[in-house]
Amino acid sequence: MTDLTEAAAALRALPPSCGPVRLVAVDGHAGSGKSTFTGRLATALGGAPVLRLDDLASHEELFTWTERLTERIIEPLARGATARYEAYDWTLRRFIEPRELPADPVVLIEGVGAGRRALRPYLARLLWMERAAEESWERGRRRDGPGLSVFWDGWTTAETRHFLADPSRPFANALVREVREGYMMLPGPVSTAMQDRTITHGDQFRPPY
C-alpha cells in the first residue's frame, strides 16, 4: 500500500477509543520519518488534528511528560472537549505558545514514546515507523546539522533507555515502511499474534492498521 487513502478509511471505521475520539499514535525512533508520514496521513484523513510530542517534552523532561499529556490532552478528549496546552519552544527553552487540539473523530499523536504503556489504553491504533535506530538517528543528525550534535548524543542515550523500559514496537498494530512510491503498511506484532492464534467462534479480526 503506497496510497494512504485506504489506511485513512480503515482508521475512520474503528470504534472510538478516547471518548468520541479515535486516537492513533505514530511512534518510532527519532529521525525515522514520523512527522512526514503523520502529516500525509492527516491529509488523507481530511485534515485530522495532530499532536506533536515535541510540544509536550522539554530539555528537562525528554520522556517524563506522561502527566502533562494525561491532564492536558487525554482527559479533555475523553470528555469530547477541545484540549488546550502550551507548546515548548526549544530555542527559548520554555513553554509559551498556547495551542488547541479538537476532539475530532480521528486525532493523531506523533513522537517518540507515543505508544508508551500509559497511553496505549486510549489508543485505537498504534503505528510504528519501521526504520532501525542507528539509521534513524543518522538521518536526524544530518537533518539538524552539527550544531545539535551534543543534543543528539544525549538524546540517543535517553531514547535507548526509554524503549528498554517501555517499548512500543511489540504493541504496534502496524509497521509503516517507507518505500520509493510512498508507504507500505505491514501487520505489526499485535496483529500478527492475533492472526496466528487459534480461531474460535466469535473471534473478529480487523485490518492491521
Of all residues in the chain, the percent with pLDDT exceeding 90 is 87
**CA 72 – CA 84 distance, rounded (Å):** 6
For 43, 49, 193, 200, 201, the CA distances from 110, given in Å and listed in that order, are 14, 11, 24, 35, 36
Q: What is the pLDDT of residues 114-139, one digit of tens each?
A: 999 999 999 999 999 999 999 999 99
Supply the pTM of this predicted model: 0.90
Parallel, antiparallel or unpaired: strands 22-27 and 174-179: unpaired
pLDDT of 191 above 90 = no
- Is 206 a residue whose pLDDT tops 50? no
Q: Give the mean pLDDT of 92-102.
A: 94
